[in-house]
A and B are shown apart, each in its own frame.
Chain A
Amino acid sequence: MTVKLSRREVLRLAVLGGAAATVTGCAAAPSGVTWQAIPSYSLQGTDPKRVDYLRSVLDAFQAESGVAIAPAVTSADTAAAMAKLLLQASQGRAPDVSQVDGYVFGRMAPYARPITSQVAAAGLDVDDWFPSLRPIMTGSGPDVRSLPFTTDVRVLYHRKDLVPTPPSTWDELIAVARPLAEQGHAVLFPGGRSEGAVATTLWPQYWAQGLELFDASGEPAFGSGPGYAAMRDALAVVERCVAEGVTPRRVATFGKEDDLNSDVVAGRVAMFIGGSWQAAALNNALPTGDFFDTWAVAPIPSISGERHVTTAGGWVWAAFSDDPEEVDAGIDWVVRAYVGDDGMAAWCTAGGYLPPRQSVYSNPAYQQNPFTPVFRDHLAAYSRTRPGARKYLAVSNSLQIALSSVASGTTSAAEALDQALDRIV
Chain B
Amino acid sequence: MTTSLSAEATSTRPPTRQDRPPGRDRFAHPGRAVWPWLLPLGLLLALVLVYPVVEIVRLSFTDASLVSGEPYRFTLDTYRSLARGTDFQQTLGITFVFVLFSTVFQLLIGFAAALLVHGAERRGLRGTVVTRAVVMAAWAIPGVVIGVIWGLLYQETGSGILNHGLSLLGFSGQAPFLSDPDLALTSVIVANVWRGTAFSMILCYAGLKTIPDDVYEAARIDGARAHQILGRITVPLMLPILTTTLVLVVVETFNTFDMVLALTGGGPGTATQVLALGVYDELFNQLNLGRGAAMAVVLMALNVVMIALYLRLVERQEGVA
Name the distance in Å between A174's Cβ and chain B's nearest Cβ: 20
Residues of chain B within 8 A of A423, CB atoms compared: 85, 87
Q: Does B195 contact A (CB under 8 A)?
A: no
| Closest chain A residue to B282, Cβ basis | A397
Question: Hey, which chain A residues are within 8 Å of B264, CB to CB?
Answer: 253
Binds A, one of B61-69, B121-129, B305-313: B61-69
Picked from B66, B176, B266, the residue with its CB within 8 Å of the CB of A87 is B66
**Mask: chain B, 257-269; 1 = CB below 8 Å from A; 0 = not:** 0000000111111
Closest to A265 in B: B159
Min CB gap A410→B, angstroms: 5
Is A253 within 8 A of B67, CB to CB? no
* Residues 55-76 (chain B) with a chain A CB within 8 angstroms: 65-70
Candidates B67, B157, B178, B271; contact of A90 at CB < 8 Å = B67
Pick the most buried of B66, B265, B268: most chain A CB atoms within 10 A of its CB: B268
Binds B, one of A78-86, A136-144, A164-172, A341-349: A78-86
Do the beta carbons of B269 and A405 come within 8 Å of each other?
A: yes
**Do residues B287 and A249 form an inter-chain contact, with CB atoms below 8 A?**
no
B187 CB → nearest A CB, Å: 11
Q: Taking CB as reference atom, which chain A residue is nearest B182? A: A410
- Residues in B with CB closer than 8 Å to A266 are 157, 159
How far apart sit A252 and B268, CA to CA, in the bound complex (Å)?
6
Contact of A422 among B66, B68, B86 (CB under 8 A): B86
Q: How far is the CB of A83 from chain B (nearest CB, A)?
A: 4
Question: Once the chains bind, are A425 and B291 in contact (CB under 8 Å)?
Answer: yes
Instruction: List, in ascending order, chain A residues with CB within 8 A of B86's CB.
Output: 419, 422
CB<8 Å pairs between A and B, sample of 27:
A83-B283, A83-B287, A86-B287, A110-B69, A111-B69, A192-B268, A193-B265, A193-B268, A194-B265, A249-B180, A250-B156, A250-B176, A250-B179, A252-B268, A262-B157, A263-B157, A268-B157, A394-B286, A401-B269, A402-B269, A404-B268, A405-B181, A407-B268, A408-B267, A408-B271, A410-B268, A423-B87
Specify which chain A residues have a CB less than 8 angstroms from the CB of B180 in the assembled complex.
Answer: 249, 408, 410
B64-108 interface with A by 8 A CB criterion: 65-70, 81, 85-87
Given known A248-B156, A262-B159, contact A253–B68 (CB-CB < 8 A): no
Check A34 for interface membership: any CB of B closer than 8 A: no
Task: Kindly report which residue of chain A lies nearest to residue B86, judged by CB atoms.
Answer: A422
The answer for the CA separation of A193 and B178 in the assembled complex, in Å, is: 12
Residues of B within 8 A of A91 (CB): 68-69
The 8 Å CB contact of B288, one of A80, A263, A394, A411, is A394
Interface contact B179-A253, CB-CB below 8 Å: yes
B243 within 8 A of A: no
Q: Is A393 interfacial (CB-CB < 8 Å)? A: yes
Question: Inside 8 A of B303's CB, which chain A residues have their CB?
Answer: none
CB < 8 Å neighbour of A83 from B87, B178, B270, B284: B284
Whole-angstrom distance between the alpha carbons of A373 and B178 in the complex?
38
Number of interface residues of B (CB under 8 A): 34
Which of B65, B157, B181 is close to A408, meaning CB atoms less than 8 Å apart?
B181
Report A-chain residues with C-beta under 8 Å of the C-beta of B67. 86-87, 90, 107
Whether B266 and A193, one on each chain, are in contact in the complex, defined by CB atoms closer than 8 angstroms, is: yes
Q: Which residues of A contact B265 (CB under 8 A)?
A: 192-194, 255
Complex contact A193–B87 (CB within 8 A): no
Q: Chain A nearest CB: distance from B92 CB in Å? A: 15
Q: List the 9 shortest-distance A-B pairs measured between CB atoms, nearest first.
A: A405-B269, A408-B268, A252-B268, A90-B69, A250-B156, A193-B267, A404-B267, A90-B67, A250-B179
Scan residues 358-417 of chain A and give those whose CB is less than 8 A from a CB of chain B: 390, 393-394, 397, 401-402, 404-405, 407-408, 410-411, 416
A166 to B285, CA, bound (A): 36
Q: C-beta contact mask, B172-192 vs A, less than 8 Å → 1, else 0?
A: 000010111100000000000
How distant is A397 from chain B, measured CB to nearest CB, in Å? Answer: 5
Residues of B within 8 A of A397 (CB): 281, 285-286
Chain A residue contacts of B179, Cβ below 8 A: 248-253, 407-408
Nearest CB of chain B from residue A201's CB, rounded to whole Å:
14
Whether A393 and B87, one on each chain, are in contact in the complex, defined by CB atoms closer than 8 angstroms, is no
> What 5 additional pairs, Cβ within 8 angstroms, besides A80-B284, A405-B181?
A79-B285, A111-B69, A253-B179, A397-B281, A423-B85
User: What's the nearest-Cβ distance from chain A to residue B287, in Å?
Assistant: 6
Contact of A253 with B286 at beta-carbon distance under 8 Å, contacts A401-B269, A410-B269 already known: no
Residues of B within 8 A of A262 (CB): 157, 159
Closest chain-A Cβ to B306's Cβ sits at a distance in Å of 27
| A419 / chain B contacts, CB cutoff of 8 Å | 86-87
Task: Tell me the nearest residue of chain B to A91, going by C-beta.
Answer: B68
Q: Min CB distance, A245 to chain B, in Å? A: 13
Residues of B within 8 A of A248 (CB): 156, 179
Residue among A79, A397, A408 having the largest count of chain B Cβ atoms under 10 Å: A408
Residue of A91, A397, A411 most packed against chain B (CB within 10 A): A397
A407 to B178, CA, bound (A): 12
- Nearest-neighbour CB distance to chain B for A306, whole angstroms, equals 32
Chain B 134-164 interface residues, beta-carbon cutoff 8 Å to A: 156-157, 159
Query: Which residues of chain B are within 8 angstroms of A407 by Cβ–Cβ distance?
Result: 179, 268
- A250-B176, A422-B85 known; A401 and B270 CB under 8 Å? yes
Q: How far is the CA of A107 from the CA of B269 in the complex (A)?
A: 26
In angstroms, Cα B86 to Cα A159, docked, is 43
The distance in angstroms between the C-alpha atoms of A83 and B67, with both chains bound, is 9
A253 B178 Cβ-Cβ under 8 A:
yes
CB within 8 Å of B: which A179-229 residues: 192-194
